[in-house]
């Protein structure tokens, strides 16, 4: 078999090193390149968020005009989801961790892995190019027709970003699923897989099943706009709701593509730092992860609760959406139960995991009002939903990414980050997200619709909006400190040992940073080994 260790020497001058990184087929380097790309998207889209908040800080035009503001909103949404969260969680984390966790030398298809990385970078470039072109898209990340067909913005850039990212995910998904099925180390049975591996498996099954639907939807958009077909044009027999249905048929499961690896890595961090066995492993895997995968495709109509869908399907999907609380509740019981009788050590990654539990509680429970069709007729498309999904998806996912970068920092770089700096960054970010997104939900309950440039009809909300803006600056500060912590750790961190967290999981059995080929030799796992076999 062709493996990374035979092709990459990991030695030589700067030019040689650069070439090795660019043409790498080593899953660890590919993972890190995914991380760099997605963090770049996060930085730009985060800057957009701050600009958006400055604009909304006061009534009337503050720093820009509506057209530019709408392109910021578009970029913030599209880049954060398509270029930051999904690639960071399924690209970086899954790529870096899964082969190490299952004790494999590399992915099953290292060259396909490089292809998915290149497609991702092409997607990042196309996404960032929207700042250069004069007609940058203003169609929001949902791209609903007929507006996206009539808009002067360049819908094609949106479509191609989705195509490239989607293709990258499909290639990565095939690769990851094959790797998990066929490349596990001897002794690594299905019952001993890390929760993160299970959750990645679930996430990639969702990607493989649902991405083609999104690709079809945006391709029809492209054809409608530039070739002259009429899929979404009612005057020629098309239907505008067709797009909304297809779009959310993928994009709701996409939320679980983000959620599953998020929860998965939180299980790893909490089990490691509580030095405890995962509570009720089988319940978490079959009830929690399996339940989410099974239910994820049956709830998308809750995005169309006010779109004139027939009443019977709105009520049906209200029930199925509420039912999502069952598997997600089991996952929460698993997470909190893992703390029970543990020996909790409060490092920076553990703080992110603990913060995640609280944020995810708020985010998950505020999903229930959205799921109720009758309640949703009022709060649909208001700031309430914006606050809710930032809690449950955006911030939770970002905490998972930040936490896992801290968690894996010694393994990736061979150096330790500064704990104090890391904790300061966490505390500031945690305060910031609560100030921002909780206030945002309050604003929404008072009736403020989303995607507004101005809100002269709601003068009473200016004070609260100002507070949201202050929160956004606090988050920005926290993220900046976190970034500084990483750079400081890279430049001046102390040398890390192979297993700084004393974890029992396989990824910590190799040297730090892992050599090409990961394990020499491949670990043979004994009968009584378990990734969470603490306290025995």
Partner 1 sequence: MIRKFINGIGLFFLMLAASSPSYAFKEGRGPGEIPDIPGGWQHLFNEMLIDITVIGIIFAAITIYFLIRYRRRHPGQEGRPPKLTVAAAVGWALIPAFIFMADDLYLAAEGWTLYNDYRTVPENAYEVKLEGAMWSWNFTYPEGVETVNELRVPAGTPIVVRMTSRDVVHSFFLPDFKVKEDLMPGRVTYLWFYPKEPGEHLITCAEYCGVIHSSMRGTIIAMPKDEFNKWIEAEKKASAEGGA
- Judged by CB under 8 A, the chain residues 408 through 447 that form the site for partner 1 are 447
- What single DSSP character describes residue 108? S
Nearest 5°: phi and psi at 415? Answer: -130, 160
Q: Which of residues 502-521 bind partner 1 (CB under 8 A)?
A: 502
Residue 26 or residue 138: which is nearer to partner 1 going by CB? 138
Among 118, 144, 466, 473, binds partner 1 (CB under 8 A): 144
Nearest to 91, CA basis, from 26, 29, 172, 13: 172
What is the footprint of partner 1 within residues 324-353 (CB under 8 A)? 325-326, 329-330, 332-333, 336-337, 339-346
> Binders of partner 1 among 96-135, rule CB under 8 A?
none
Burial of 536 (0-12, 13-18, 19+ CB in 10 A): exposed
* Cα separation of the two ends of the chain: 38
CA dist 301 → 241, 319, 521 (Å): 11, 11, 51
The residue among 176 and 195 lying less far from partner 1, judged by its C-beta, is: 195
User: Of the two residues 447 and 513, which places its CB atom closer to partner 1 in the complex?
Assistant: 447
Our finding on whether 318 is near partner 1 (CB under 8 A) is: yes
Q: What is the dihedral of CA 116, 118, 123, 127, to 10 degrees?
A: 150
Q: Which of 63, 374, 487, 492 binds partner 1 (CB under 8 A)?
A: 374
Q: Tokens for 509?
A: 């059995």
CA dist 97 and 77 (Å) reads 27
Q: Closer to partner 1 by CB, 420 or 457: give it.
A: 457
Task: Choose which of 122, 128, 223, 361 interacts with partner 1 (CB under 8 A).
Answer: 361
- Please identify, using beta-carbon distances, which residue of 223 and 368 lies nearer to partner 1: 368
Task: Restricting to residues 19-78, name those near partner 1 by CB under 8 A.
Answer: 66-67, 70
Distance of CA 13 to the CA centre of its chain: 35
Return the SS3 of 152.
coil
Is the Cβ–Cβ distance between 377 and 315 less than 8 Å?
no
369 is a contact residue toward partner 1 (CB under 8 A): yes
Cβ proximity to partner 1: between 369 and 513 the closer is 369
Residues contacting partner 1: total by CB under 8 A = 82
Q: How far is the CB of 132 from partner 1 (least distance, A)?
A: 21
Whether the ω angle into residue 157 lies within 30 degrees of 0, i.e. cis, is no
CB of 61 to partner 1, least distance (A): 11
**Among 113, 151, 175, 485, which residue interacts with partner 1 (rule: CB under 8 A)?**
151
Bridge partners for 415 per DSSP: 495
- Chain residues 295-314 in contact with partner 1, contact rule CB under 8 A: 306-308, 311, 314
Residue 178 or 325: the one with the smaller Cβ distance to partner 1 is: 325
**Residue 289 within binding range of partner 1, rule CB under 8 A:** no
Helix axes 27-56, 396-413, angle to 10 degrees: 140
Cα–Cα distance between 106 and 522 in angstroms, integer? 11
Q: What is the closest distance, in whole angstroms, from the C-beta atom of residue 306 to partner 1 in the complex?
A: 5
State which of positions 228-287 bind partner 1 (CB under 8 A).
234-235, 238-241, 274-277, 279-280, 282-283, 287
Helix (H, G, I), strand (E, B) or coil at 449: strand
């Amino acid at each position: 078999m062709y493996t990374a260790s035979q092709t990459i020497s990991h030695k030589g001058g700067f030019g040689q090193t650069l070439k090795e990184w660019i043409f790498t087929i080593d899953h660890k380097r590919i993972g890190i390149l995914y991380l760099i790309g997605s963090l770049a998207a996060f930085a730009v889209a985060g800057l957009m968020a701050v600009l958006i908040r400055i604009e909304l800080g006061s009534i009337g035009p503050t720093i820009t005009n509506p057209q530019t503001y709408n392109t910021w909103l578009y970029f913030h949404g599209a880049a954060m989801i398509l270029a930051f969260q999904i690639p960071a969680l399924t690209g970086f984390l899954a790529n870096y961790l899964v082969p190490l966790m299952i004790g494999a030398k590399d992915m099953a298809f290292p060259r396909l892995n490089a292809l998915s990385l290149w497609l991702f970078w092409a997607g990042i470039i196309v996404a960032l190019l929207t700042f250069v072109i004069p007609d940058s898209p203003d169609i929001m990340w949902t791209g609903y027709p007929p507006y996206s067909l009539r808009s002067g913005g360049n819908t094609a850039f949106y479509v191609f970003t989705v195509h490239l990212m989607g293709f990258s995910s499909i290639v990565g998904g095939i690769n990851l699923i094959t790797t998990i099925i066929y490349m596990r180390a001897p002794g690594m049975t299905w019952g001993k897989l890390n929760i993160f591996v299970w959750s990645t498996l679930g996430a990639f099954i969702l990607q493989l099943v649902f991405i083609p639907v999104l690709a079809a939807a945006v391709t029809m958009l492209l054809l409608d706009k530039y070739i002259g077909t009429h899929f979404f044009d009612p005057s020629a027999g098309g239907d505008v709701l067709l797009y909304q249905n297809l779009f959310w048929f993928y994009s709701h499961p996409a939320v679980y593509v983000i959620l599953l690896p998020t929860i998965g890595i939180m299980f790893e961090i909490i089990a490691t730092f509580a030095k405890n066995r995962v509570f009720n492993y089988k319940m978490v895997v079959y009830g929690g992860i399996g339940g989410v995968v099974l239910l994820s495709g049956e709830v998308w109509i809750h995005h169309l609760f006010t779109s004139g869908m027939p009443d019977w399907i709105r009520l049906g999907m209200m029930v199925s959406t509420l039912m999502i609380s069952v598997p997600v509740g089991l996952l929460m019981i698993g997470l909190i139960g893992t703390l029970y009788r543990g020996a909790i050590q409060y490092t920076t990654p553990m703080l992110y995991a603990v913060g995640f539990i609280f944020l995810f509680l708020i985010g998950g429970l505020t999903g229930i009002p959205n799921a109720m069709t009758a309640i949703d007729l009022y709060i649909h498309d208001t700031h309430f939903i914006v606050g809710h999904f930032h809690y449950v998806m955006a911030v939770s996912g970002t905490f998972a990414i930040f936490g896992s970068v801290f968690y894996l920092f010694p393994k990736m770089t061979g150096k330790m980050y500064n704990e104090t700096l890391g904790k300061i960054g966490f505390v500031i970010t945690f305060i910031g997200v609560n100030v921002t997104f909780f206030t945002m939900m309050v604003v929404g309950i008072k009736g403020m619709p989303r995607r507004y440039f101005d809100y002269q009809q709601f003068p009473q909300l200016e004070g609260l909006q100002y507070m949201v803006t202050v929160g956004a600056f606090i988050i920005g500060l926290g993220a900046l400190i976190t970034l500084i912590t990483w750079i400081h750790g890279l430049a001046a961190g102390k040398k890390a040992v192979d297993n700084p967290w004393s974890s029992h999981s396989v990824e910590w059995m190799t040297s730090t940073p892992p050599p090409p080929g990961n394990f020499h030799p491949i670990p043979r796992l004994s009968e009584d080994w378990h990734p969470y076999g603490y306290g025995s």
